[in-house]
Amino acid sequence: DQQVKQNSPSLSVQEGRISILNCDYTNSMFDYFLWYKKYPAEGPTFLISISSIKDKNEDGRFTVFLNKSAKHLSLHIVPSQPGDSAVYFCAAINTGGFKTIFGAGTRLFVKA
């Protein structure tokens, strides 16, 4: 039972354009959401997060949008750069618990 789903295994985008990565969740108790970025042979690194009391959080080129009614979040990268090519994991937390639930990841390719 996947509580956090990233339905696109991969995404290819031209440099300078927008990358949109999507994530859906099923557990309405999740109240904190995160995106992680992972390069080959490295550990995942935290990218950006959003609390369920917000619908948008922005950090430079990265913006996360949360639609609670649809149980959907998305990560926008504008403009996309070749260095953004990595695997992106969506994650969700019920802040009353200890665990973070991760999606399967989306591999982003940014073409120069």
Partner 1 sequence: DAGITQSPRHKVTETGTPVTLRCHQTENHRYMYWYRQDPGHGLRLIHYSYGVKDTDKGEVSDGYSVSRSKTEDFLLTLESATSSQTSVYFCAIRGTTDTQYFGPGTRLTVL
Binding site for partner 1 (CB under 8 A): 6, 9, 32, 34, 36, 41-46, 49, 89, 91, 93, 95, 98-100, 102-105
Toward partner 1, which CB reaches closer, 37 or 84? 37
3-class DSSP string for the chain: CCCEECCCCEEEEECCCCEEEEEEECCCCCCEEEEEEECCCCCCEEEEEEECCCCEEEECCEEEEEECCCCEEEEEECCCCHHHCEEEEEEEECCCCCCEEECCCEEEEEEC
Toward partner 1, which CB reaches closer, 14 or 51? 51
Beta carbons within 10 angstroms of residue 48's beta carbon: 17
Q: Residue 55 CB, nearest distance to partner 1 (Å)?
A: 19
Q: Residue 107 CB, nearest distance to partner 1 (Å)?
A: 10
Q: Residue 14 CB, nearest distance to partner 1 (Å)?
A: 26
Q: Residue 6 CB, nearest distance to partner 1 (Å)?
A: 8
Rounded to a whole number of angstroms, the distance between the first and last alpha carbons of the chain is 38
Toward partner 1, which CB reaches closer, 42 or 112? 42
Toward partner 1, which CB reaches closer, 86 or 91? 91
